[in-house]
Amino acid sequence: MKCDIDTAAVKIGVVGAGSWGTAIAELLASKGFKVDLWVYEQHVKDQIEKNRENKVFLPGAILSSNIFPSLDLAEVVLKKDLLFLVVPSHIMRGMASRIGELLAKDTIIISAAKGIENKTHLTMSGVIKDVIPELDNRSLAVLSGPSFAAEVVKKVPTLIAVASSDSETALFVQHVLSTPYLRAYTSDDIVGVELGGAVKNVIAIAAGIADGLNLGLNTRAALITRGLNEIRRLGLKLGAKPLTFIGLAGVGDLILTCTGDLSRNHTVGKLIGEGEKLKDILSKMEMVAEGVKTAKSVYNLSIKIGLEMPICHETYHILYNDVSPKDAIYRLMTRDLKNELDEY
């Protein structure tokens, strides 16, 4: 792997010390980069400083001394070459507003958040550009793909996608991230990479519901396949490239999130399938299951643009309208029959 980046010269900040933000910080720190990590909770900062562990969000992983946790956002953002934003999608707008005043002119922002904003239906890069309109193409990239944080810090072989409309930016971020155990691929399809990463969380909730009902492997395979079709059709409608959805940010991330025990979205769905109420499930979770909020965004966006997305729609109705999972499945299975490859 050819990579001649001077780790001492590249200044990196990571905003967000959840599981994925901590994993990204550890990945980079283990390569020799000094990483400033913005932490929201005082006790999490203290744990990282004193014990080199984020016991709340990434327990069991011993973190590099090259990670410097801070509660001071300015300290993490100022004078950085690369700034990774790894915050829940519903706070991305507020965070982008806060960092916009602190950014250096040449800072490259990498969004590693997966979601669609409820009110505007923008992806995370769209939110960032809406709040910081002066950002040019060279200054923005997105990160997605099948990558559970807990496995990345264990150095399990992992593949991800880095997308930017500027090829040099994509290549730079690719080389910064890549290691013998994490391989990054470049893409110029920001829309497709972000939509794949966001909507797969909704399908994962549906797959979890099916598993909670013990419906079997046939049902799970059908949900993944038809779910991918819904993601692809939404992507085509919004200008994404069709091949993106057979790649890492499409089918790769979808399979992982729909089948992996570490998936928060699958877990939420499974508990619903087993009879628990959504509000009770969420009250017990430390980390965010992005698919819950994204389900609302996808439902409203698809209605607005006139796109049929039956699995996403039924998942929304289960989450927000208290529809019985069994009734939702019946409606899916008794829809009008059609050709498998109908586009819309």
- 161, β-bridge pairs: 144, 185
The structure's pTM equals 0.96
Q: Residue 159: its pLDDT value, please?
A: 98
Q: Mind listing the domains of the chain with CATH numbers?
A: 12-188 (3.40.50.720), 191-333 (1.10.1040.10)
Q: Which of 129, 200, 270, 293 is catalytic?
A: 200
Cα separation of 160 and 147, whole Å? 7
Q: Residues with Cβ < 8 Å from 245, sequence gap 6 or more?
A: 192, 196, 228, 231, 232, 235, 251
Q: Which helix (H) or strand (E) covers residue 183, if one does? A: strand 182-187
Asked about 200 being catalytic, the answer comes back as yes
Q: Residue 1: its pLDDT value, please?
A: 42
The alpha carbon torsion through 220, 221, 223, 229 (nearest 10 deg) reads 160
Q: What is the pLDDT of residues 82-95, one digit of tens each?
A: 999 999 999 999 99
Q: Give the CA angle between residues 132, 248, 233 to the nearest 5°.
A: 75
Cα separation of 129 and 313, whole Å? 28
Instruction: Note the helical H segments in the chain.
Output: 19-30, 42-51, 73-77, 92-100, 124-131, 149-152, 167-177, 190-212, 217-237, 253-259, 264-273, 278-283, 290-305, 310-320, 325-333
Judge residue 177's burial from the number of C-beta atoms within 10 Å of its C-beta, 0-12 exposed, 13-18 middle, 19 or more buried. Answer: buried
Q: Residue 288: its pLDDT value, please?
A: 82
Q: Residue 3: its pLDDT value, please?
A: 54
- Three-class secondary structure assignment of 19-59: HHHHHHHHHHHHCCCCEEEECCCHHHHHHHHHHCCECCCEC
Cα separation of 118 and 65, whole Å? 38
3-class secondary-structure state, position 12: strand
Kindly give the confidence (pLDDT) of every residue in the chain, 344 residues in length, as a single tens digit, with 9 standing for 90 and above. 445 799 999 999 999 999 999 999 999 999 999 999 999 999 999 999 999 999 999 999 999 999 999 999 999 999 999 999 999 999 999 999 999 999 999 999 999 999 999 999 999 999 999 999 999 999 999 999 999 999 999 999 999 999 999 999 999 999 999 999 999 999 999 999 999 999 999 999 999 999 999 999 999 999 999 999 999 999 999 999 999 999 999 999 999 999 999 999 999 999 999 999 999 999 998 888 899 999 999 999 999 999 999 999 999 999 999 999 999 999 999 999 999 987 65
